[in-house]
């Protein structure tokens, strides 16, 4: 599991940063990815990655500002040209369906796959048994949502030495034990799953917030997250301007991560006024509050490792 950033600039692209988009790349139940926002040029950015549109399964839109959605029409249209592009589900705030329908109607666009647009409110918006996604409203100039992705717990590790001592052969019996089922050996001995399977491995939590001022909902969505992706449009000391535009400073984002007990913070959505050198200085300021910060950049792949049980 990892996040790959496709655009990390706020408002408009720069020479080195495109506008907002990030891919959540998972491995279960099958290799695929989800997209969070799609600013102008997102599909062009994908040419610099291993991501393919026929592997795109879901799109989550945080809000309807252009730097987060203007890449959607072209990307959705191009997906029709990829073999094996199955049904696609898109989630986002009210108004998303009208935007997509209007663009497609006036441009005469026809998709070769099924597209479902689900307009969301606060609460659990999907749960497929592998991942549960919860959305909640943030504080911005337009309705803006954050998303919390929770991975289901994984079965514990088999005690292979004990299984060998007890004469359990690799194969279907291992699978039953991993699923929590007890087995009976040909000798009549009962092998209980709880005796040979370690404790469950906690699922990972990734929180991706849209544009926002600091707010309690952002903290709740990021509670104990393995990774929090948070905007940092302005430098510390520009809190008044950040509030006026519905954004956050680096220091405010760091405080949210600290208050939420997140394990790692990735900052993105940097104002075009900051070059890479300036962003490095901004991160150093934020690390005074929350040490484990990285500054996202276009094409960056950020792994989300499993935590020990």
Catalytic residue numbers read 67
The DSSP line for 59-105 is: EE-----HHHHTTHHHHHHHHTTSTT---EEEEESTTHHHHHHHHHH
List of residues 6+ apart from 21 with CB closer than 8 A: 5, 6, 7, 35, 36, 37, 38, 39, 42, 45, 71
Is 140 annotated to bind a ligand? Reply is yes
CA distance 218 to 237: 21
The answer to whether the annotation marks 211 as part of a ligand binding site is yes
| 106 marked as binding residue | no
Q: Binding residue per annotation — 2?
A: no
- Outline where DSSP puts E strands in 157-280: 183-184, 190-191, 205-209, 227-231, 265-268
Return the SS3 of 14.
Answer: coil
Residue labelled with tokens 């760091």 = 254
In 152-204, beta strands by DSSP E: 183-184, 190-191
The token duo for 168 is 């359990």
Q: Is 226 annotated in some ligand binding site?
A: no
Does 63 appear as a known binding residue? Answer: yes
Q: Known binder of ligand: residue 259?
A: no
Bridging pattern class, strands 88-92 and 115-119: parallel
State how far the Cα of 207 lies from the Cα of 219, in Å rounded to an integer.
10
Known binding residues for Zn(2+): 63, 65, 67-68, 140, 211, 269
């Amino acid at each position: 599991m990892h996040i790959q950033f496709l655009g990390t600039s706020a408002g408009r692209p720069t020479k080195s940063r495109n506008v907002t988009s990030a891919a959540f790349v998972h491995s279960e139940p099958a290799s695929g990815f989800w997209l969070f926002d799609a600013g102008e040029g997102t599909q062009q950015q994908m040419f610099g990655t291993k991501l393919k549109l026929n592997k795109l399964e879901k799109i989550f839109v945080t809000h309807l500002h252009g730097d987060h959605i203007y890449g959607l029409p072209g990307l959705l249209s191009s997906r029709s040209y990829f073999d094996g592009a199955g049904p696609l589900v898109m989630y986002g705030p009210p108004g998303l369906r009208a935007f997509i329908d209007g663009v497609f109607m006036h441009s005469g666009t026809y998709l070769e796959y099924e597209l479902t647009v689900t307009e969301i409110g606060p609460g659990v918006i999907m749960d497929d048994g592998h991942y549960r996604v919860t959305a909640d409203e943030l504080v911005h100039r337009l309705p803006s949502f954050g998303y919390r992705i929770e991975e289901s717990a994984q079965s514990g590790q088999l005690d292979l030495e004990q299984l060998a001592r007890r004469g359990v052969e690799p194969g279907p019996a291992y699978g039953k034990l991993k699923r929590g089922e007890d087995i009976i050996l040909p000798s009549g001995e009962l092998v209980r799953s709880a005796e040979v399977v370690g404790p469950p491995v906690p699922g990972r939590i990734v929180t991706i917030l849209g544009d926002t001022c600091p707010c309690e909902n952002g903290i709740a969505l990021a509670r104990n997250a393995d990774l929090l992706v948070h905007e940092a449009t302005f430098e510390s000391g520009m809190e008044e301007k950040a509030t006026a535009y519905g954004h956050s400073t680096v220091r405010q984002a760091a405080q949210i991560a600290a208050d939420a007990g997140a394990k790692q913070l990735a900052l993105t959505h940097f104002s075009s006024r900051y070059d890479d050198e300036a962003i490095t200085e901004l991160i150093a300021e934020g690390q005074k509050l929350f040490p484990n910060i990285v500054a996202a950049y276009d094409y960056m792949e950020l792994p989300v490792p499993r935590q020990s049980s």
